[in-house]
A and B are shown apart, each in its own frame.
Chain A
Amino acid sequence: MVRRARAVRLTLHPGVSRRVNEVFSITVLSLEVSGLATILSLLVGLPLGTVLALGRFRGRAALLSVINTGMGLPPVVVGLAIAMLLWRSGPLGDLRLIYTPWAIILAQWVIAAPVVTGLTAVALQQLDPRLQLQLLGLGASVPHMVLALWREARLPLIAALIAGFGSVISEVGASMMVGGNIRGQTRVLTTAIVLETGKGEFERALALGGLLLLLTFLINLALTLIQQRGARQRGRT
């Protein structure tokens, strides 16, 4: 998927510069990396947040505290930890993932997963706790009950998804440290902005920043429209 993103080349009329193609590739890679990291964080965060919200077990409060702390993890610290892990001489060095898009995905997953987990737990804890008993009392199996609760909490769960994506599409520290900002391979919008700013190319940096903002806005707009459609249905009499 990521390799395909790098291979994307626009077929435009001859006057269009190579730089447009490069910006396009960077944009696609940014969306793919952050999108995949968000989806992976959802796959972990939704079930884990559900267990934390509904389960009663020893260490639950401690685990919730760890997750809540993780929601504010500084991306550079995550980048440092992942870089040490994936470094050639590190424990996972043999995988040769450092300075690849997969390293960025891993780092962004570490940043987004606690956000999605924590907000999922909050979303489910806001439901009436007797609803679980009522669903079970109507003959729901545990998976049925969980699906019904997710559906009841769908508006805050979409907000968790928005927050998870927002936390990674805009981060730069981890992507820079584990991706290396290699042109045509691991350069994403945020690292490209840092590079252009460093070179004093403020116009280019501003243009890339505007593009990043626009993309983030469009994706959040789509998710918000889905969320608010649910809210309107809830409010309709």
Chain B
Amino acid sequence: MIEIRDLVVRRDGRAVLTIDRLRIERGEVLAVLGPNGAGKTTLLLVLARLLAPERGRVTFQSPTGPITSDLEHRRRISVVMQDPLLLDRSVFDNVAAGLRFRHLAPDVVRRRTEAWLAKLSITHLKDRPGLKLSGGEAQRVALARAFVLEPELLLLDEPFSSLDAGTRQALSAELKRLLAETHTTTVFITHDPAEVRDLATRSLWLDDGRLVSHPA
């Protein structure tokens, strides 16, 4: 579904990510592990076409046809970062933001947003300002904002790392349920072995910008 070939990303002249080949199949949930500075977030940004590699290519084979532009590529994926990075708007508007970027009809935006607010159990928060939520609530909104787009590829960059253990466990279970329901192809970065065990169908290890092992 998505394939990386001969990839080199450099920062200040130093190669921070070098991958000869990596293929992610439809429906896979791939965990990416590795120490800090190993290139995990760089890999995610490259997969999202938010960072251009110096060499190599990322091929996205979409069932809906060939992808020609970065914008089109990004409109088939969703990114959830370590911090929720919500906008200074209501929770509803935060969840609806990506749908509005795609110029969907207002009634479609409303219907899909309300459905995902309910699925993440945050309907009661829909009029609250996005910047006035607790960490767990905000990350639920970030997940709803990503899932509402019905992405072909979901990219998660340690989304629960700043939460307390209880909230992290609850959200991890929620994510597991949503991934099972939607069969969304997912790449997620984590340091937590429990998350790998609970969520991933495959894992790979990055060290110093190189893939150390990933079972074929």
Contact = CB atoms under 8 A, between A and B. Distances in A.
Q: Do A and B come from one complex?
A: yes
Main secondary structure of the interface of A (DSSP, over half): helix
Given A234-B129, A236-B129, A148 B102 contact: no
B132 interface: yes
A131 B131 contact: no
Contacts of A130: 81, 83, 85
B101 A140 contact: yes
Interface in B48-82: 48, 50, 71, 74-75, 77-79, 81
Contacts of B79: 133-134, 137-138
Contacts of A141: 71, 101
A128 interface: yes
B88 A234 contact: yes
B193 to A, nearest CB: 26
Contact of B88 (A135, A137, A139, A152): A152
B97 interface: yes
Main secondary structure of the interface of B (DSSP, over half): mixed
A130 B44 CA distance: 13
Contacts of B189: none
A135 B50 CA distance: 10
Contacts of A148: 87, 97
B129 A139 contact: no
Nearest to B155: A137
Given A133-B81, A152-B87, A139 B98 contact: yes
Contact of B75 (A131, A135, A139, A151): A139
Interface residues of A, number: 20
B149 interface: yes
23 contacts: A130-B81, A133-B50, A133-B79, A134-B79, A135-B97, A136-B48, A136-B74, A137-B77, A137-B78, A137-B79, A137-B155, A138-B97, A138-B98, A138-B146, A138-B149, A139-B75, A139-B149, A140-B98, A140-B101, A148-B97, A152-B87, A152-B88, A237-B129
B81 A139 contact: no
A55 to B, nearest CB: 16
Contacts of A128: 83, 85
A233 interface: yes
A229 interface: no
A60 interface: no
B214 interface: no
A152 B94 CA distance: 12
A233 to B, nearest CB: 7
B140 interface: no
Contacts of A140: 97-98, 101
